Amino acid sequence: MNEWSGKDQGKSSFFFKDAFTDLVFLVTLSKHAFFGSEIAECYSAASQVKEGDAGSWGAAWNTLAETTERTARRAEQEGH
């Protein structure tokens, strides 16, 4: 078990069992206050992450980014 794992620390988690992954997710959620994230989108991406799989983290957030970009480009083309 590595130093970042929360499994043996006896502390509760917010969303993920792994303490480091949970911390990074909380930091991402905190960006909402500065208009850097939407809470529902964060939970949607996080629900696609497999515990302990860094690749799935990247894939989930990349998928969200691509979807958000498509939505923004479409809105721009429609004059919004």
Model confidence pLDDT, tens digit, residues 8-59:
555 677 899 988 899 999 999 998 888 878 899 999 999 999 988 889 999 9
- Model pTM score: 0.71
| Half-sphere exposure of residue 11: CA atoms within 13 angstroms, side-chain side | 13
Q: How high is the pLDDT of residue 9?
A: 54
* Rounded Cα–Cα distance for residues 28 and 30 (Å): 5
Structure tokens at 61: 């957030």
Distance CA 13, CA 4 (A): 13
The C-alpha angle with vertex 17 and arms to 51 and 40, in degrees rounded to 5, equals 75
